[in-house]
Amino acid sequence: MAPSKRKIFVLDTSVLLHDHQSLLNFQNNDIVIPITVLEELDNFKVGNDTKNFSAREVTRFIDKLSENDSLKDWIPLGIKKGSLKVDMLQKPKNTNASAVFDNDKNDHKILNSALYIAEQFPRRQVVLVTKDINLRVKAKSLGLIAQDYQTGKVDQQSLEKLSSGRINDISSEVIQQLFKKNKLPENGLLGQEKRNNAYYVLKNGQSSILAHYNPFLDQIEKVEKGYNFGVKPKNAEQAFAAHALMNEAVRLVVLQGVAGTGKTLLALAAAIEQHQKFDQIILARPLVPLSNKEIGFLPGDAKEKISPYMEPLWDNLKFIKSQFGANEKKYKVIEQLQEEGKITIAPLAFIRGRSLSNTMFIIDEAQNLTPHEVKTIITRAGEGTKVVFTGDVHQIDNPYLDQNSNGLAYLIDRLNGQQLFSHIKLERGERSELANLANELL
């Protein structure tokens, strides 16, 4: 008898927490959920974070799907879908993960579940799917096929090509006209480099000019290096970022770049510069502990617990204030915005569930978000709201994300070229010579 083409995917908890709709993304293949995974979902069900929401949604979906049927039997997932069942952790006859690794922890129970299913269905390919790299390595060491959850992955090479364009053969006459008139009809000047809301360095010999393509008017516009609340761009990419942040037609901006390129500082300065246009300025970032301790185990009240994670955002605000004397008007504007609560710095979990209108919403360290979290944030944007994501796809602290699966890369890949969207890649560090040295050589 020939092997069946239908695969059996054994899902780890990390997959279901990463994407609560993942059960519907395996086409007509079958899915097995170890009972240990259900137990772990139960541990995550309380809380306001995305993983808590996902745990609740997955449990509700399975309950609704099963109705009066037993989950020990295969249950159809829908039209052109496979079936689902729960494995009750019967021990495999041959290799036992708990014995091999001398530990009966949950990861090894999930491995045993996959090993048992592989024994029960020898003519079908059984694949363990997990976002946990260590669990994948352990599975492979036991002879199992193990894969990452692929939905939402992007091609990193295509992202690398999305940096600011540099066009070297623009005629000097065109550059002079752009200097004088500040804008010109596009008329095919950009060629294959043309992209909605893209930025360019147009050059002819020693002459050059910074430019932006406006898709609404189909024209090229000159980009100036102007101040935003005491912060002036120090290079071309920073000038592009400042322009996108101040552009009312662009409602979603991504600033991508390594540490020290000024992403958050530029975003905050532009937000304060436009404080009269917005009812509120919100800076948020995901809480990803750098140690094994969850934030709930740290000492102090809620404000004290989150303070270390929010400090980099406060540092940017302090820097902007330091550009002015205590008696200057702009210094007092910032003080007033803080006193009235119009500038808010908070962990992202505290923002979730709100509908944000007339708000400048800046999300820092967005590379630590999942694609689903990014989508959830953007869909909270009401009328008059501008959303800004900043981050570095090469510096990820979330253990279940990588350069190709994080929400920031997903966002750039999916929305590139949209009229309401602008993506700027900042490549030169401006924090200090020492910071630049570390980025380049360490």
pLDDT in tens, 160-192: 665 557 888 888 899 999 999 999 999 888 888
Residues 263 and 394 in one domain: yes
Q: Are 193 and 167 in contact, with CB atoms under 8 Å apart?
A: yes
CATH number reported for the structural domain that contains residue 72 in this entry: 3.40.50.1010
Residues 138 and 247 in one domain: no
Q: What percent of the chain is modeled with pLDDT above 70?
A: 90
pLDDT confidence of residue 288: 64
Q: Are 318 and 312 in contact, with CB atoms under 8 Å apart?
A: no
Residues 142 and 261 in one domain: no
- Domain range for residue 112? 8-147
- Does residue 296 fall inside a structural domain? yes
Q: Are 239 and 223 in contact, with CB atoms under 8 Å apart?
A: yes
- Does residue 154 fall inside a structural domain? no
Tokens representing 49? 């974070």
**153-157, 174-178, 347-351, range with greatest mean pLDDT:** 174-178
CATH number reported for the structural domain that contains residue 341 in this entry: 3.40.50.300
pLDDT confidence of residue 359: 96
What is the pLDDT of the chain when averaged over all its residues? 88
User: Across-strand partners of 421?
Assistant: 252
Tokens representing 80? 């052109």
Helix ranges, 127-280 (H): 133-141, 156-160, 172-181, 236-246, 263-273
In three-state form (DSSP H/G/I as H, E/B as E, the rest C), the secondary structure along 337-392 is HHHCCCEEEEEHHHHCCCCECCEEEEECCHHHCCHHHHHHHHCCECCCCEEEEEEC
On the question of pLDDT at 292 being above 60, the answer is: no
Distance CA 104, CA 107 (A): 8
Distance CA 409, CA 407 (A): 6
- Does residue 399 fall inside a structural domain? yes
On the question of pLDDT at 141 being above 90, the answer is: yes
Residues 404 and 271 in one domain: yes
**147-151, 225-229, 399-403, range with greatest mean pLDDT:** 225-229
Domain count of the fold of the chain: 2
User: Across-strand partners of 426?
Assistant: 257
Closest-CA residue to 426 (of 253, 282, 191, 251): 253
- Read off the pLDDT band of 287 (50, 70, 90): confident
- Does residue 76 fall inside a structural domain? yes
Radius of gyration over every alpha carbon of the chain, rounded to an integer in angstroms: 25
Which amino acid, one-letter code, is at 265? L
Q: Are 342 and 317 in contact, with CB atoms under 8 Å apart?
A: no
Tokens representing 146? 């193990």
Q: Are 95 and 118 in contact, with CB atoms under 8 Å apart?
A: no
Q: What is the pLDDT of residues 258-283, one digit of tens each?
A: 888 999 999 999 999 999 999 999 99
Distance CA 424, CA 178 (A): 22
Q: What is the mean pLDDT of residues 395-413?
A: 88
Residues 306 and 430 in one domain: yes
Given 114, 147, 180, the domain boundary residue is 147
Q: Are 203 and 168 in contact, with CB atoms under 8 Å apart?
A: yes
On the question of pLDDT at 442 being above 80, the answer is: no
- For residues 190-224, b (16+ Cβ closer than 10 Å) or e, as one string? beeebbbbbbbbbbbeeebbbbbbbbeeeebbbbe
pLDDT confidence of residue 98: 86
Q: What is the pLDDT of residues 41-62, one digit of tens each?
A: 999 998 877 888 899 999 999 9
Q: Are 419 and 312 in contact, with CB atoms under 8 Å apart?
A: no
Distance CA 385, CA 348 (A): 17
User: Across-strand partners of 118?
Assistant: none
Between CA 237 and CA 242, with CA 241 as vertex, the angle to 5 degrees is: 120
- Does residue 203 fall inside a structural domain? no
> Which secondary-structure segment (H or E) carries 60?
helix 50-66
Q: Are 305 and 298 in contact, with CB atoms under 8 Å apart?
A: yes
- Does residue 213 fall inside a structural domain? no
Residues 268 and 399 in one domain: yes
Given 126, 147, 168, the domain boundary residue is 147
pLDDT confidence of residue 363: 95
pLDDT confidence of residue 219: 95
Closest-CA residue to 373 (of 54, 110, 111): 54
- Read off the pLDDT band of 314 (50, 70, 90): confident
Given 147, 166, 189, the domain boundary residue is 147
Distance CA 314, CA 322 (A): 12
Cα dihedral 112→117→119→123 (10° resolution):
-150
Which is more confident, 355 or 254?
254
- Does residue 313 fall inside a structural domain? yes
- Does residue 183 fall inside a structural domain? no
pTM assigned to the model:
0.84
